[in-house]
Structure 1
Amino acid sequence: MDHIPLVLKNSHGSRTFFLLWWADSQITVQRGRSLSIQCHYDEEYRDHVKYWCRMITQSSCTTIVSTDTPERSGQVSITDNNTLHVFHVTMSDLQTMDSDVYWCGVETCNTEIYMASLNLTVTMSFFPLTGFCRFQHF
């Protein structure tokens, strides 16, 4: 298991949590903070729809934002840089009810490919910044 440092982005600075390609991550964020995620994809998916979804059941994920609809949905935004093969998701003003499992995904021929997951916990109190990425190769 490889570990990389994760850094927090908040209204008082420019530090950002980053998730990297094909990573499953767990992270804890203080209520009111923001989280920025980079989701990398293969060149073959550059013209496909990318999305950020919230896990409902083990086999179901509800799309929060996608690149084929308006780029902002409430406090979540998505932008795609198909030259660098990466899309960015930002979740702002996180609340405890935002704690859940989220996925980066790409649509292909009416099928969804889930690339990376984030198990997000939002707490009410201050805590030391912690987080890790576990790399999986498919």
Structure 2
Amino acid sequence: MAPHLLLVLHILFFLAGLSGKRGVSTVRHVSLKQGGSITIPCLYDLRYRNSVKYWCAGSSILGCSSVVHTDHPKTSGKTSISDDINQRVFTVTMTSLSSSDSDYYWCIVERKNKAGDGDRLQISADITAYIPGLYVDQQEVTGVVGQNVTVQCYYSEAGARGRWCRMGGKCLLNSGTLDGTSVTLHQQTNIVTNGNVLMVIMRALRMVDTGWYRCANGYYQMPVHITVNQQTTKQNTITFSNTATCDHFPCTQPLLSFIMAPLVSLLELMIYNS
């Protein structure tokens, strides 16, 4: 068989493998202003927990150029990668974005004796855009168990509706629940940007709500990480102003002063009225 036919068959078998269920997932298209920063989460299956992860630039997984990977190097220029094997997500952070960073990228995990498994996204860093297609005030939001947390997603396409999704899970177009947590969605008009705002309120937070979410509008998506912390317990203490340093327990001077002060005042009042 001709060599070029073998190459074609190899590519077809490779693409057939990619057409099945992928073990890696990320967002689709992120729009940013020049000079901004972005953190991209790449979720992966349990079977890839100990695999090497790559961040690769290029439209095709076959010919993309590796930028950083989790074994070495973890940082290259303004791009860094980290892997949380417990949450099964590796994240890539790009800073000081410029128009030259606008490209297709791949989240890829290495597979032994097989082509890498991956998912593709597009990053647009537009030097001329005043307002990105979809953005948030901050990608990292912190909440407390039992309390609410609010995220605001801004998008420039007036009249469109935004969605709130748990990455790797389902999406909400209207108020509802995500994995048992109540979520309220408010679609509003932003007069300043002539666009819309999706206000997301996650209520009565639980520890299991910690994770990656995304705002979505049309083809644009923006990842948001929510961290839920336990409530801190504060103890109320009474401090006496007239205290003493005691070498031995019990120390009676603070208690004695606490009792004697009102008695002295009462005695003075009785003498004054007599």
Q: What TM-score results when the alignment is normalised by the length of structure 1?
A: 0.73
Which runs of 5 or more structure 1 residues have no equivalent in the other structure?
Answer: 1-20, 134-138
Residue of structure 2 equivalent to 1:5: none
How far did 1:116 drift? Answer: 2.0
Give, in whole Å, the separation in 1 of the partners of 2:114 and 2:76: 23
Give, in whole Å, the separation in 1 of the partners of 2:103 and 2:67: 13
Residue of structure 1 equivalent to 2:64: 61
Whether the 8 Å CA contact 2:67–2:76 is kept in 1: the answer is: yes
Q: Which amino acid aligns with 2:44?
A: Y
Sequence identity percentage: 35
Give, in whole Å, the separation in 2 of the partners of 1:93 and 1:33: 5
Give, in whole Å, the separation in 2 of the partners of 1:132 and 1:121: 12
2:111 aligns with one of 108, 112, 122: 108
How far did 1:117 drift? Answer: 1.3
Give, in whole Å, the separation in 2 of the partners of 1:72 and 1:109: 24
1:37 aligns with one of 37, 40, 48: 40
Q: If each structure's helix is expressed as a fraction of its own residues, which one has the higher value?
A: 2
How far did 1:24 drift? Answer: 5.3
- After superposition, residues 80-95 of structure 1 pair within 5 angstroms as 80-95=83-98
Whether the 8 Å CA contact 2:61–2:106 is kept in 1: the answer is: no
How far did 1:128 drift? Answer: 4.1
Whether the 8 Å CA contact 2:33–2:132 is kept in 1: the answer is: no
Bigger relative CO (Cα 8 Å, ≥ 6 apart): 1
Give, in whole Å, the separation in 1 of the partners of 2:69 and 2:61: 20
How far did 1:111 drift? Answer: 3.4
Whether the 8 Å CA contact 2:32–2:132 is kept in 1: the answer is: no
Call closer, same or farther: CA 1:34–1:55 in 2, change over 3 Å.
same
Call closer, same or farther: CA 1:105–1:127 in 2, change over 3 Å.
same
Q: If each structure's strand is expressed as a fraction of its own residues, which one has the higher value?
A: 1
Residue of structure 2 equivalent to 1:132: 221
Report whether the alignment pairs 1:71 with 2:74.
yes
How far did 1:106 drift? Answer: 0.2
How far did 1:87 drift? Answer: 0.4
RMSD: 2.0
Q: What TM-score results when the alignment is normalised by the length of structure 2?
A: 0.38
1:65 aligns to what SS in structure 2? Answer: strand
Give, in whole Å, the separation in 1 of the partners of 2:84 and 2:34: 29
Give, in whole Å, the separation in 2 of the partners of 1:85 and 1:104: 13
Q: Which amino acid aligns with 2:221?
A: F
Report whether the alignment pairs 1:121 with 2:124.
yes
How far did 1:56 drift? Answer: 5.5
1:105 aligns to what SS in structure 2? Answer: strand
Whether the 8 Å CA contact 1:103–1:114 is kept in 2: the answer is: no
